[in-house]
Amino acid sequence: MTENHLATSHLGAFDYDPAPESASIARLRDAYGLFIDGDFTDAASHASFASVNPATGADLANVAQANSPDVDRAVAAARHAYDTVWSKTTGAQRAKYLFRIARLIQERSRELAVVETLDNGKPIRESRDIDVPLAAAHFFYYAGWADKLEHAGYGANPRPVGVAGQIIPWNFPLLMAAWKLAPALAAGNTCVLKPAETTPLSALILAEILQQAELPAGVVNILTGDGATGAALVEHPGVDKIAFTGSTEVGRLIQRRVAGSAKRLTLELGGKGANIVFDDAPIDEMIEGIIDGIFFNQGHVCCAGSRLLVQETIADEVLRRLVRRVEQLRVGDPLDKNTDVGAINSAAQLAKITELVAAGEAEGATRYSSSCELPSAGYWFAPTVFANVSSSHRIAREEIFGPVLSVLTFRTPDEAVAKANDTNYGLACGVWSEKGSRTLWVAERLRAGVIWANTYNRFDPTSPFGGVRESGFGREGGRHGLEAYLDV
Ligand code: ADP
């Protein structure tokens, strides 16, 4: 592609020297047990599996595989801690623990960032500047609520739910653990958390932090394992509430399992976010917003702006600039501080991305992929933009969960809204325009839980996040995030 060659030769003059963060900062142990009742313990079956660095394919550490007997033990520990300690602890005391956890995350932030990058494949710049600080911020924020629950708008004496089973995905391992644990603990619940099987390590460092913070034993239990571990947790009769973040397929399965039981449920599932750009938006900021909306965290983001809806009058210029910008993204070693796009998290995810991109080509969309050189080991996918996409293409309908943007065009605000809403999902959208009245007109008509104006992927612990339709239900973050963990 001529455009690519031009961009590459221009870039040659600005080559960066490598600036790697040291992997040794991670100080990983060879093997980790399950974190039950305040201690690391072996799984009953003694089974374990390796967590792999997706950027190299190398094993990082061995973690225990929890099965039903381990889930029994963890739920019993959580119940005992709830009955004997946590439900008797005042809000001010709970706040003290949450503040401690937040400060310890800050103290160990460099180590956590390196562990997250090694285990997930995301650029160190993101784990260092976004995942870890936001995880600490969530604990700080909910620490503030712990002694003020009666002012949260859920009645004069809001009660906790009890034992929460929490299942999280691999795209923001530490941050998702914080999103789950901080509000649950602030509201007075005890927890059994299951990290994803490809990214268990930062949750295990968090377990060490909980020990350092002297959180009473059993208040948080962390079980490493696969989907079967998650299913055993969902089905356990001792669990009062399930909070799940992950794929829509598994969310559906969990909803069916929980139906008819007294368990409460919140689901944060997939998305196919539309980033809508009007011809009056400031173009430089908008291009950066589009790039960040889809290539942040390799596109492993449920609220990613994976569909770009661009007004026809500026479509050619936006596409030209996007292709040039994609070519400038630095893809490679996630530990390098200059890296923009890291590794794909697993072979399975890479296969899914590859399959959907092939479908995009087969259905007639025009593909522009970065000509960057991809490392030979590990799992990688070149940042890709598809033009000439129509709403019926699979790449416009299915969640790719990778660094792949589908560009569609529109002429009028009505058409933009119709196309944006033409999806089964409803998690997030972005609107870019200089006119506030137009942004509000569009935002009112979009069916999505989160709408960003002239920005994208902006997260804040004070702001509720969650979906509608097949993107799930319930909110995390802000005052609203407490509701899931209160008996209201
Ligand atoms: P993704 O497609 O993003 O990997 P999944 O929905 O498969 O997302 O996984 C998200 C989390 O759900 C992971 O922790 C995974 O182990 C867990 N999980 C997978 N299958 C089940 C299941 N049947 N019941 C409960 N949890 C599950």
Res 2: pLDDT: 37
How far apart, in whole angstroms, are the C-alpha atoms of residue 212 and residue 366? 53
How far apart, in whole angstroms, are the C-alpha atoms of residue 310 and residue 431? 10
Residue nearest to atom 14 of ligand 1 (CA): 196
The catalytically annotated residue of 268, 327, 399, 476 is 268
Q: What is the mean pLDDT of residues 453-478?
A: 97
* Burial state string for 31-45 with b = 16 or more CB within 10 A and e = fewer than 16: ebbbbbbbebeebbe
The CA 228 to ligand 1 mean position distance, Å, reads 9
Residue nearest to atom 19 of ligand 1 (CA): 227
With a Cβ cut-off of 6 Å, ligand 1 is lined by 167-170, 194, 196-197, 226-227, 230-231, 234, 246-247, 250, 253-254
pTM assigned to the model: 0.96
Q: What is the mean pLDDT of residues 362-369?
A: 98
| pLDDT of 298 above 50 | yes
Helix (H, G, I), strand (E, B) or coil at 476: strand
Res 13: pLDDT: 59
Res 1: pLDDT: 38
Tell me the average pLDDT of the chain.
96
Q: What is the CA radius of gyration of the chain?
A: 22
389-408 confidence digits (pLDDT tens)? 999 999 999 999 999 999 99
Give the max Cα distance, the chain: 69
CA angle, 464 as apex, 462 and 465 as ends, to 5°? 130
Active site residue 303: no
Active site residue 302: yes
Res 10: pLDDT: 47
Res 15: pLDDT: 78
Res 271: pLDDT: 97
Query: To the nearest whole percent, how much of the chain has pLDDT over 70?
Result: 97
Ligand 1 mutation target, pool 167, 242, 248, 255, most atoms within 8 A of CB: 167
The catalytically annotated residue of 302, 303, 372, 429 is 302
The CA 227 to ligand 1 mean position distance, Å, reads 5
3-55 confidence digits (pLDDT tens)? 444 444 445 556 789 999 999 999 999 999 999 999 999 999 999 999 999 99
The CA 347 to ligand 1 mean position distance, Å, reads 16
The residue with tokens 């397929």 is: 249
